[in-house]
Amino acid sequence: MTTVLNGKRAVVTGAAGGIGAALAAELIDRGTAVVLADLSPDVSDTAAELGASAFAWTGDVSSVEGIGALIEFADDRLGGIDLYFANAGIIGPAMLGETDADWDAIIDVNMRAHIRAAQALVPRWQEAGSGYFVATASAAGLLTQIGSAAYSVTKHASVGFAEWLAMTYRDDGIRASVICPMGVNTNLLDDARAGGGSAQKAVTSAGTVMEPAEVATIVLDAVEDEQFLILPHPEVLEMYRMKGSDYDRWLRGMSRYQARLNDQ
């Protein structure tokens, strides 16, 4: 397939499975060389299945040291990075959590990982005159996540940070997009199911649960068009508009929705 992504070089985090692995596969189909990064050693098997254009890196993509090592690896294998997909994410604690450590982990993975990667990449992209940062957030980043304060807060932060990048560095040739899906058939959704409660019910009852490959196609079509807000579930846009049109009414409605889920 010949696309605008042909010949580009990308890093995808959280790429051992799920959306990350699907993004890597679709990128390679479109002619992009990809480094797949994940804390899980399974990422090596995932990359091996994708062929000679895929390279596996195992490590912590949320730490400064890990991101530095990942970028060094990508520079060595690919000769540079044109696109960075900050896709790794975790569910985090239910409700308010119990300790600071509960929040520290999810803030590091879902939010600080994006900031730290951008701090490393933006200066080199400014010098080159181009670069693309794609954050995987969630519909929870536009709406909210029933049953999990930490997930909702960090996904809102992911949306806000990507928005700031897109606005601030546009004249430098740098682009940013944010992906805000609802339910996707991934290990993350399985973790929510295992946890039970209203958070899982909210995800699975709000709309269709999509397959990662479907999401990857939608995402990369949007990236090729330099579209900022990527909504694999288009109904999220109407929900977002309803929220913005009458915030208090929306909050009352969400409270009633949560009560119904809890009753079920």
N-to-C CA span, the chain: 47
Amino acid identity for residue 56 in this structure:
A
From residue 111, how far is each of 117, 154, 238 by CA, in Å?
A: 10, 6, 26
Half-sphere exposure of 91 (CA within 13 A, CB side): 21
Token pair listed for 116: 């730290």
Catalytic residue among 84, 132, 151, 169: 151
Measured in degrees and rounded to the nearest 5, phi and psi for residue 129 equal 85, 10
CB 91 within 8 A of CB 192: yes
Place of tokens 């709309």: 207
163 Cβ contact list (under 8 Å, min separation 6): 176, 178, 228
- Is 151 a known active-site residue? yes
Cα separation, 188 vs 91, in Å, equals: 7
Which residues have a catalytic role annotated? 151
